[in-house]
Structure 1
Amino acid sequence: MTDEKPRHSSAVTLDRILAAARDSFAENGFDGARLDRIARSAGVTKQLVYHYFKTKEELYGVVLDRVAEEVHAMLDDPDYDRMTPVAAIGALIGRIMQNYEERPYLVGITVDQDLHKGEHVTRRSQYLPAVRKFVDGRIAPILERGAATGEFRDGIDPYLFYWSIFALATACFTQSWSMSRSSGIDFASAEGIALWRDHVTGFALQSIARVALPR
């Protein structure tokens, strides 16, 4: 009993540090985030942060790994295999957007990671292997089933398709201000997000349909 409490306390402290770091990196980017502010936000000393992480780069890499793990756990769903190909694509797009709607920090993390060209994605990181596993294990079979039933065209590249729908689906979060101001549609509202989800789903399905879908 005596050593259970310290382990639990240590895990909670580490979670607080990682959550504070995640939010700081999302808001300020890697370059703007400061370990003293992260420590203060987590309610710990800067020395304790250094106890767990020797450098800011190491902390950022762990945050990226944890965020990637959350995202792919959310996106993955064995029910895709039981859905029709068309329904599975709609569900996938819905999950991508739900991820960003429920986790506002993803916008800042995504933009900052690409800005640094993956510089802080560590060699042991599971981010890229997780993407490949998801595309090969989930996206490719959906497209293959759709081609077999005659709903989708043959030969659709699963990686091109995944990153196309990912970029489109997340646009109303990463480019919300520009889209809203230029169109007059409030893409930060629940109604605007739902409108964009329906548009992206229809657009994606039209792009891979063997025969043009009725509008």
Structure 2
Amino acid sequence: MNTSSVRTEPNKRNTLNRLLEVARQEFSKKGLSGARIEDIAREAGITKQLVYHYYGSKERLFSAVLDESSQRIMAELIALDVEHLAPTVALRELLYYCFDQYRDDPFLGALALEGIRYHDAHDTPRNMFADLTPALAEKFDNILKRGAQCGEFKAVADPRLFLATAALLTSGGFTNHYSMSVLVGVDTRSTQGMQLWRQHSVDFIVSSISLVPAPA
């Protein structure tokens, strides 16, 4: 059972929100295999039996946590007001925001990495990430088309490929922390490392399609 199929009386909704937040932190810190329903229930102030009543299993609770987190971050990106900005500025602002979601959420990188492992190993049902991706791809596509029309960008044949590349680059310092830190020579989760990777990743992505010379 997922949250969309649970009745949403105020008390129950508050309980579910608290449960999902506690579970999010536990899964981020300990992974799916290490997190225990008993610990999650105790921290959320409910019984283990109630967790199973709502979600049926630890895996379904984890799926609900991923779904809620995906909905939150995707909705924020889709709603970001950049349409009034010049294309290059709009693209930069959107890419910076992609990075900042990971920088400002201490659990998102670990949760995303655990989610990648889970989806790779399981045949998972359609979720909010898949449902909201077309709207985010359209937002990117509109910026890219505006940029091409006014001579700021090269034409981008496949905006979904561009979006996928941008997502990998902006989040890589968090979801592939060890490898990226070794390659860069700086801890990508340190203040210095985050500043470095934030600027580099966005500059790299924008320069790949830019027709406007970078400032000297």
CA distance in 2, matches of 1:191, 1:149: 35
> Which residue does 1:164 correspond to in 2?
165
2:105 maps to which of 95, 103, 106 = 103
TM-score relative to the length of structure 2? 0.85
Unaligned runs of 5+ in 1: 1-5
Counterpart of 1:147 in structure 2: which amino acid?
A: A
Count of residue pairs the alignment pairs up: 208
Amino acid in structure 2 at the alignment position of 1:54: G
Residue aligned with 2:70, SS: helix
Which residue in 2 is equivalent to 1:3? Answer: none
2:125 to 112, 119, 122: 122
For residue 85 of structure 1, what is the aligned residue in structure 2? 87
Matched, 1:22 2:24: yes
1:9-58 alpha-carbon deviations (Å, 9 max, x no partner)? 32222111111111222222223322112112212210111221122232
Q: Say whether residues 1:12 and 2:48 are aligned partners.
A: no
The code of the aligned residue for 1:199 comes to H
SS at structure 2 position matched to 1:133: helix
For 2:60, give the aligned amino acid: E
Contact 2:169 2:201 in 1 (8 A): yes
The alpha carbon displacement at 1:165 in A equals 1.3
Q: Distance in 2 between matches of 1:70 and 1:195?
A: 26
Unaligned runs of 5+ in 2: 1-7
Cα distance in 1 for partners of 2:183, 2:146 equals: 38
Report the identity percentage. Answer: 34
1:117 counterpart SS class: helix
Return the offset for 1:79: 2.1
Please name the residue that 1:52 is paired with: 54
Distance 1:155 1:97, change over 3 A: closer
Q: What's the Cα RMSD here?
A: 2.2
2:4 counterpart residue number: none
- CA distance, structure 2, for counterparts of residue 186 and residue 203 of structure 1: 19
Task: Rate the CA distance shift 1:121–1:106 in 2: closer, same or farther, 3 A.
Answer: farther
Distance 1:102 1:40, change over 3 A: same
Question: TM-score of the superposition, structure 1-length normalised?
Answer: 0.86
